[in-house]
Chains A and B, each alone.
Chain A
Amino acid sequence: MSAAEDVVAEGHQAVEAVPKRAMTLGTGTSLLVLAVLLLVPVFVKNFIIFQMTMLLIYGVAVLALNILTGGSGQFSLGQSAFYAVGAYVSAVLMEHFNVNYALTIPVSAVVCFGFGFLFGKPALRLSGVYLALATFALATAMPQLLKLNFLEHWTGGVQGLVVTKPDAPFGLPMSQDMWLYYFTLAVTLAIYIFSVNLLRSRSGRAFMAIRDNEIAASAMGVDVALYKTLAFGVSAAITGIAGSLGAIAVQFVAPDSYTITLAISLFLGMVVGGVGWLPGSIVGAAFIIFVPNIAESISKGMSGVVFGVLLFLVIYLVPQGARQAASKLR
């Protein structure tokens, strides 16, 4: 419209620059958290163990988004699509091909990596709201694609698939829920360690350079296109693993469990946990799992109002999420 619009102020970027040391916890705190996660299930009921399993699973999914947004500065509302693909890969392999549940996880990671990497290619030309719209389209399309007639033989169509819950191996004296919890915890730990190392590696530095200033990064010799699609691929792979674990834990997959609502929840989880702070993912996951329940228990009719007000409170008190709260404690 006018010349005034041609110039955009310098230093305007969607995602804050978080130094990589501020992205993780210290060793002591990490070990303490791990000890809590290891010991608590021994003392609580099966239902709570199940909820803790879901907490870890959503934590992994939020972590994946955090690598994409907090790490490489790309925004995605399409995480639910990758989650769905992971869940379906596991469910189909387990139910149609009798593959062991643990073996389906690497398969869905590979499939989702490919899917995310390919999706990242056209998304390269888009940023900001445009990327949000593109990923959003992916999220709205996924449940419809899963319902398609010619896939129905594999996916079970609208009805979805029932997944068998695995027993504890080697005759360990554990309930199914508890075994699944420890299994999920092991996978989560592996992914967390992988992610921390990824962000400290050459690739991680490239992600952050792109996040902070794309032009400067390419001037320094970073292959911007490669690393942006790579970030999408890695994020999709981790989300897919979360999806697989989710399918095994819930024992059921259906297209309508993976709508845009899931993607929005994961996004909220990332904001509440702190964009770019990996340990915050678990705090964010706790928020998106428990706060809607709390809101419902306060008032059934007004659960949306209560949820909204609680969310507002959180972002007023700590606009940068749990990361800010944690740095105040330090």
Chain B
Amino acid sequence: MELFTNQVLAGIATGAIYACMALAVVMIYQAIDHLNFAQGEMAMFSTFISWQLMQWGVSYWAAFVITLAFSFVAGIAIERILFKPLAKAPVLTNVAGFIALFAIINSSAGLIWDFTIKQYPTPFGSAPFLGSQLISTHQAGMIGVTVLLLLGLYFFFQYTRIGLAMRAAASVPESARLVGINTSWMVALGWGMATAIGSIAGMLVAPVVFLEPNMMGGVLIYGFAAAVLGGLSSPLGAVTGGFLVGIFENLVGTYIPGVGNELKLPIALALIISVLVVKPAGLFGRPIVKRV
């Protein structure tokens, strides 16, 4: 029993990473209606920016804020310059665009900062949290930040005019335009916010997985899986999905014999798919009603 509780705790700790990334995934999905495969790389690049700032002697929190602002602007810029011209192109062409962006960012980060692994500081310290060996203060801090972000997003989407406008622009663009919403800029804003949230995820993840150009590959996959499991339209679902995926993954690794580190991911994904077969819109997602 103790082994079980321990593994669940450890799962929650890793789950916080996925939850954070899943929030960024849901954010962009709300804005543009598809998944951005380059999101992990964008987060990685932002994290490198903050690392560079700290190397130049900027304090952690100052670097954090500057990076957030930079990511927000960069996200908007990427949408305006690269993806706005593709707005009318088929969806699959857009996906190819994300893959191109992935290659560009990954390769240029490697060129600027090379592929060696770098240490990244944490503002929360890494002592055991409340005497538990399984959760460090950093991981506790990460869970805290994720929950704060979730609350922030919830209020933004539910209680602000601009949040409502963004939701409207994402779900029924034609009608949104008729009531005077600038849908094109809403998409750009969504990109900016998703990039900023992604950069937070990157900065929180970096102390755990260490900083290098390929650090987000695995995290993004789990983030996607978490977001899809929780329901792509629900920030709460994404966070819950993140924790569930973390727990799944740990329990599978502990209790199923012969599952090494490498089989964890396929099995976790298979579990998620079995859940989706039963509940196709995800755990918290709203089934899409189609007009025939």
A8–B234 touching, CB < 8 Å: no
* B101 within 8 Å of A (CB atoms): yes
CB distance from B1 to the nearest CB of A (A): 30
Of the candidates B158, B262, B276, the one whose C-beta lies within 8 Å of that of A1 is B158
Interface size class of B (residues with CB under 8 A): 35 or more
Give bound CA distance, A141 to B265, whole Å.
8
Inter-chain contacts of B276 with A (CB < 8 A)? 125-126, 130, 133-134
B174 nearest in chain A by CB position = A9
- For the complex, give the distance between the alpha carbons of A302 and B104 in Å: 8
CA A145 to CA B111, docked complex, whole Å = 34
Chain B residues 103-147 with CB under 8 Å of chain A are: 103-104, 106-108, 110-111
**Most chain B C-beta atoms within 10 Å of own C-beta, residue among A134, A136, A320:** A134
What is the predominant secondary structure among interface residues of chain A facing chain B?
helix
Proximity bits, B80-107, A CB within 8 Å = 1, else 0: 0010011011111101110111111011
Beyond A305-B104, A315-B100, is A126–B280 a contact (Cβ under 8 Å)?
yes
Given A6-B286, A315-B89, A316-B85, A308-B171 contact (CB < 8 Å): no
Residue A189 at the B interface, CB < 8 A? no
Whether A215 lies near B167 (C-beta < 8 A) is no
Chain B residues with Cβ below 8 Å from A69 are 92
Whether A319 pairs with B280 at a CB distance below 8 angstroms is no
Cβ contacts under 8 Å, B111 to chain A: 301-302, 305
Measured CA separation A149–B257 after assembly (Å): 13
Hey, which chain B residues are within 8 Å of A172, CB to CB?
A: none
The answer to whether the Cβ of B269 comes within 8 Å of any Cβ in the partner chain is yes
Contact partner of B225 (CB less than 8 A), chosen from A133, A215, A216, A319, is A133
B residues near A19, Cβ cutoff 8 Å? none
* A7 beta carbon closer than 8 Å to chain B: yes
Chain B residues within CB distance 8 Å of chain A: 34-35, 82, 85-86, 88-93, 95-97, 99-104, 106-108, 110-111, 157-158, 164, 167-168, 171-175, 221, 224-225, 228, 232-234, 258, 262-263, 265-266, 269-270, 272-273, 276-277, 280, 286, 288-292
- A-side interface residues toward B, CB under 8 Å? 1-2, 4-10, 14-16, 69, 75, 122, 125-126, 129-130, 132-134, 136-137, 140-141, 144-145, 147, 149, 215-216, 264, 267-268, 270-272, 275, 301-305, 307-309, 311-312, 315-316, 319-321
